Amino acid sequence: MNRKFSLLLMMVLGVSQFCFAQDKPEWKTIFANINQETLEHSWAYETLKEATSTIGHRLTGSANGKKAEDYAYNLLKSYGFTNLKYQPFEVESWSRGNVSVAIGTDMNQLVPYKSVTLAHSPVQADVSNEVVDMGNGLEEDYQAAPDKVRGKIALVYLGVVPGSKAGTKTLHRSEKTAIATKWGAKGIIIINTAKGGILLTGTASVTGKLIPIPAVCIGMEDGFKLRETLKTQKLYTHIKMNNISGLIKARNVVATIKGKKYPNEKIAVGGHLDSWDLATGAIDNGIGSFSVLDMARTFAKLKLQPDRTIEFVMFMGEEEGLLGSKAYVDAAIKDKTIDQLRYMLNYDMTNDPTGYSSTDEGSKALFQSIGTIANALDSSFKNTFRSGAGLHSDHQPFMLQGVPTGGAAGGKLPNNAGPCYHADCDNFSLVDKKGMVNTVRFNAMLAYGIADAPVITAKHFTDAETKEFLLKNNLKEPLQIAGEWRWKD
C-alpha cells in the first residue's frame, strides 16, 4: 500500500468516525428531555405493579393473557397512540394440569418428589421405568453410551455439571429434551440449577408444539442426591401427568410512530408481554415489556418523531416458542416489508443497564455516540458496548432473517431475582423502580438515536451472510436441534 493511498484511507475513515462522533446537534437537547421526562414521570414501575396485582400471570392463550393484551393496548391508547393495532396469530396453547413424580430404588416403594411439569409435555402421560444419569444431557453424553437411555428416563442437569471438562457449554432445556428424545428416552427429569428447592418451568419443546415424552423439573438438592445414589444403585420412577392443549388465538400489540424522513425504514423495539403461570412474571418479562411501554409513553409525551419509523411491540407467546415474534416476522416476509427492518431492539429481563449491545460490531461507533450523550447526562451509564449473538428470545426470528438486533448491556437483575427465573417466586417484590427507570431513559435514547441516525452502517444480511454469521457465533448446533437450520451444507 503506497503512502498516498494510506493517507487517503485514513482521511476517509476519519471522516466516517467524525460523522458518528458529531451525530446530530439536536440529540443533546432531545436526550436531555428524555432523561428529565423519565426521571420525573416514568410509569413503568407503577403500571407493572398494577398489572401484576390485577391480572396476575400472563400465560399466552389464557384469560389472563387476553387481559394483558388488552391492558397494553389500552395503556398505549391512553398515551395518545392512534396508529395502534393488535396483530393476531394462532398458536398451539398449552397449560399445565396435574403431575406426580415418584422415585426410588424399589419400583414397589417409590417416594414422591416435588416437581413441576415442563411446558409442551404430553396431554397425558403415565410412565414407569429405570432412571439413568445422562449428566449434562449433551450429544457427547449420549454418544459415550448410545443405548444407555433407550426406553428409560433420562436424568439431566439444566446447567453444566461441576467437574465437567473445561469449556463445556450448556444447551437450552428444550434442546436437551430433544436430544434425549432422539436417543430413545421415554421421559426426562431435569435438575434445576437454583438452590433451595426452587422449581423451574418453561418449554421443553424446540418447536412450540407438543413433545412425545413427559418432561419435569426437580430441585437441585434432590437431583444431586439422586445422581449420588445412581453411582451405586439403580433408580426407578413413575411419572404421571395430564395437561391441556389446543389451538387458540393470541395477539401482539403494535404501536407505530411514522418516520418523518424515511418512513419505509423501520426500527422494531419490543419485549415479550407473556409470562409463565407459576407466578406473575414480574421479572420475566414484566421489567422488560413494561419498560418498552414506558419508552413508548416517553416518545408520545415528548412528541418525538425520528427520521425512521419506530414500532413498539408487545410480543405474546415468547415463552412457548417465540410465537409472537415469529408471527411478526412471518407477516413482514409475507407483505414484503422484511427488508425495511433496519434494526430490532429486544428487552427481555432488562434491568439497570450501563451500556448497549448489538449483533453488529460495526454499530459500536453509532451506539457509543448515543451513549456518550447518555453518559454526560448521568455518569452511572458507563457507555460500554458488547457484540455477539445468542438464541431463545424475541430477537431470534429477526436475526435468522438477517436483521441486526441489539438492546441494553451491563445491567443485572434486582434483589437476587436470578433463582426465581420461571419459578413461583417471580413476583413484584423483586422489582426495582430505579432499575426500570434506567432501562427506559437510556434505551429510549438508543431507540431514538438509531431511528434518527444519518447513517445506519449495520446491514440487513443476505441469506448467505446470515448463515456465515450464525456459524461464526456457534449457533448451528442448537438451530439444527430446533429444526431451524435451513441451510444445506
Q: Are strands 355-358 and 341-346 parallel, antiparallel or unpaired?
A: unpaired
Residue 486 included in any domain:
no
Count of domains observed in the chain? 2
How is residue 186 annotated by DSSP? S
Residues 285 and 433 in one domain: yes
CATH code for the domain in which residue 306 is found? 3.40.630.10
Neighbours of 2 (CB within 10 A): 7
Nearest Cα neighbor of 190 from 224, 218, 150, 161 is 218
Q: Of 212, 243, 274, at which residue does a domain stop?
A: 243
Residue 93: what pLDDT? 82
Return d(Cα 208, Cα 206) in angstroms, integer.
Answer: 6
pLDDT band at 248 (very low <50, low <70, confident <90, very high): confident
DSSP states of 50-115 as a string?
Answer: HHHHHT----TTSHHHHHHHHHHHHHHHHTT--SEEEEEEEEEEEEEEEEEEEEESSTTS-EEE-E
Measure the CA–CA gap between 81 and 206, rounded to whole angstroms: 36
Q: How many helical (H) and strand (E) elements, i.e. helices and strands, does the chain have?
A: 14, 14
Average pLDDT, integer, range 413-426: 97
Asked whether residue 18 is domain-assigned, the answer is: no
Task: Give the pLDDT of residue 15.
Answer: 37
Whether residues 323 and 449 share a domain: the answer is yes
pLDDT at 22 exceeding the cut of 70: no
Residues contacting residue 198 through CB under 8 Å, at least 6 positions apart: 192, 219, 220, 419, 420, 423, 424, 425
The answer to whether residue 244 scores a pLDDT higher than 60 is yes
Both 339 and 466 in a single domain?
Answer: yes
Q: What is the structure's pLDDT at 8?
A: 39
pLDDT tens digits for range 288-331: 999 999 999 999 999 999 999 999 999 999 999 999 999 999 99
DSSP bridge pairs for 102: 112, 238
HSE value, Cβ hemisphere, 13 Å, CA-based, for 205: 22
Tens digits of residue pLDDT in 108-166: 999 999 999 999 999 999 999 999 999 999 999 999 999 999 999 999 999 999 999 99
Please count the other Cβ atoms lying within 10 Å of the Cβ belonging to residue 56. 18
C-alpha cell, 197: 428447592
Copy the grid coordinates of residue 331.
Answer: 407477516
Look at residue 16 in the predicted model and tell me its pLDDT. 39
Q: Which residues contact 458 (CB under 8 A, 6 or more apart)?
A: 342, 343, 358, 360, 362, 363, 404
Tell me, yes or no, whether 301 lies in a domain: yes
CA atoms within 13 A on the CB side of 30: 19
197: CATH: 3.50.30.30
Name which of 297, 260, 398, 406 is nearest 340 in CA terms. Answer: 398
Same domain, 224 and 172: yes
What b-and-e string marks burial along 246-255, b requiring 16 or more CB atoms within 10 Å of the CB?
A: eebebbbbbb
Among 14-18, 63-67, 256-260, the least confident range: 14-18
Same-domain status, 65 and 208: no
pLDDT at 425 over 80: yes
Average pLDDT over the chain reads 95
Is the same domain home to 272 and 232? no
The type of residue at 372 is: T
Q: Within a domain: residue 15?
A: no
**Could you tell me if 190 and 277 lie in one domain?**
no
pLDDT tens digit sequence for 251-300: 999 999 999 999 999 999 999 999 999 999 999 999 999 999 999 999 99
Instruction: Return the pLDDT at 39.
Output: 98
pLDDT at residue 57, rounded to an integer = 98
In a domain, 394, yes or no: yes
Provide the grid cell at 49: 405493579
Tens of pLDDT, residue by residue over 226-237, are: 999 999 999 999
- Domain coverage including residue 231: 94-243
Given this model, what pLDDT does residue 4 score?
A: 37
For residue 17, what is its C-alpha cell?
A: 468516525
Residues 6+ apart with CB under 8 A from 146: 183
Q: With a cut of 80, say whether residue 21 has pLDDT above it.
A: no
Q: Do 104 and 30 share a domain, yes or no?
A: no
Instruction: Judge if 282 and 401 occupy the same domain.
Output: yes
User: Does 281 share its domain with 210?
Assistant: no
What pLDDT was estimated at residue 324?
Answer: 97
Percent of the chain with pLDDT over 70: 96
Instruction: Look up residue 258 and give its three cell numbers.
Output: 411514522
Over residues 2-11, the mean pLDDT reads 38
CB-based burial label for 472 (10 Å; 0-12, 13-18, 19+): exposed
Co-location of 52 and 112 in the same domain: no
Answer whether 195's CB lies under 8 Å from 221's CB: yes
Find the mean pLDDT for residues 341-367: 98
Q: Give whole-number Cα distances, 8 to 3, 14, 344, in Å.
A: 9, 10, 35
CB atoms within 10 A of CB 320: 25
| CA-closest candidate to residue 56, choices 377, 280, 274, 239 | 280
Q: Which of 243, 269, 290 is the last residue of a domain?
A: 243
Q: Is the confidence at residue 10, as pLDDT, over 50?
A: no
- Is the pLDDT assigned to residue 19 strictly greater than 80? no
171 and 226 co-located in one domain = yes
Has residue 444 got a pLDDT over 70? Answer: yes
- pLDDT reported for residue 390: 96
The rounded distance, in Å, linking the Cα atoms of 412 and 348 is 12
Domain boundary among 215, 243, 271: 243
Residue 224 to residue 297: CA distance in whole angstroms: 47
Q: Which amino acid is at 252?
A: N
